[in-house]
A and B are shown apart, each in its own frame.
Chain A
Amino acid sequence: MTVEPGAKPGFAEEALPHLDAVYRFAIRLTGSADEAEDLVQETFLRAFRSWDQYARGTNAKSWLFTICRNVFLRKRERAQRHEEILALNAARVGAGSTPVANQMWSSAQGVDPEGDFFESIVDERIISAIEELPEEYRTAVVLSDIEGLPYAEIAALMEVPVGTVKSRLFRGRRRLQQVLYDYAVEMGYISAAAGENITG
């Protein structure tokens, strides 16, 4: 990196190593490589300009994810995507508690209890399933399952309580598992008979 020396001390060392992670996050948010590139550029430029406000040595990755998501949400608001907002509101109804067990697993346990079918599913199908999730679920799942952020950091980033993060993770994962399970049945990776037992 040939960023102007001294202009923003530490930026190259602390922020830029997270470019791939921010790019992955941006792709999951936007669903488009072109939009992701624009989002990444804006994220890093904003971070660069605000570098003086960042507490050096804390957590640049979370900070960059926060900026990235905020920029994305502002753009989305401007695009007036009411459908997703309405869907999210509907999803919130009855979302107060997190069930103990995984109903999806309960459906699968007769034929593939350890989820071997997940290995058979092509990357593109998994990625499209992630991108079909409502944003609030998608963000939580990507930050936890792919980027490995702790609940507390995701909560701070999304400005919600840790319990809400856990609830969104639970429901986001459940939806993904259901979609991937249905796909595995459709493709014949696991028996159709097992698929008939799924109750939603």
Chain B
Amino acid sequence: MEPFDEQTDFRSVGGGCGPGSITCEDALRVVHDFLDGELEGVTLAEVKAHFEVCQRCYPHLRFEQAFREAMRRACARETAPPALRDKLERLLAEAGQKG
């Protein structure tokens, strides 16, 4: 099942896509590029504007954001153990002495 089969022509729905030069399909195609900071210039502005006003696409954006936030939250607290830092410091010092 393609999830948006029944909603392919969002433009015909009216009200959901708001003003602007891109369609919901355009916006959803680049939702990951948008969240990953890969868009720039006019495209970035258009996509951002679309998500801000489109009631259909905004939840999709939030869904992907919530997923990324959960990923970062789960992994962000992990830091190298102090013992590893100490050991690495010693090993690098030894390697440095050996040249």
Contact = CB atoms under 8 A, between A and B. Distances in A.
A40 B71 contact: no
B64 interface: yes
Assign chain A's interface to a size class: 35 or more
B67 A176 contact: yes
A125 B6 CA distance: 34
Contacts of B36: 144, 150-151, 169
B3 interface: yes
Assign chain B's interface to a size class: 35 or more
Contacts of A130: 71, 74-75
A115 B99 CA distance: 53
Interface in A26-61: 27-28, 33, 37, 40-41, 44-45, 48-49
B67 A177 contact: yes
A49 B67 CA distance: 39
Contact of B99 (A7, A45, A116, A176): A7
A23 B87 contact: no
A26 B85 CA distance: 14
B14 interface: no
Contact of B77 (A102, A106, A123): A123
Contacts of B80: 19-20, 22-23, 40
Tell me the dominant secondary structure on chain A's binding face: helix
Contact of A150 (B28, B37, B78): B37
B96 to A, nearest CB: 3
A44 B92 contact: yes
B91 interface: yes
A108 interface: yes
B69 to A, nearest CB: 7
> Considering residues B60, B64, B92, which has the most beta carbons from chain A within 10 angstroms of its beta carbon?
B92
A145 B72 contact: yes
A109 B59 contact: yes
A170 B76 CA distance: 22
Given A102-B64, A114-B62, 18 more contacts: A3-B89, A3-B93, A19-B88, A20-B78, A24-B75, A37-B84, A41-B87, A44-B91, A102-B28, A102-B60, A103-B1, A119-B70, A123-B74, A145-B71, A145-B72, A173-B67, A177-B67, A199-B1
12 contacts: A24-B75, A40-B88, A45-B95, A49-B95, A100-B29, A105-B64, A108-B63, A115-B62, A115-B66, A123-B77, A145-B71, A150-B36
Name the 5 nearest CB pairs between A and B, nearest first.
A106-B3, A4-B96, A7-B96, A115-B66, A113-B59
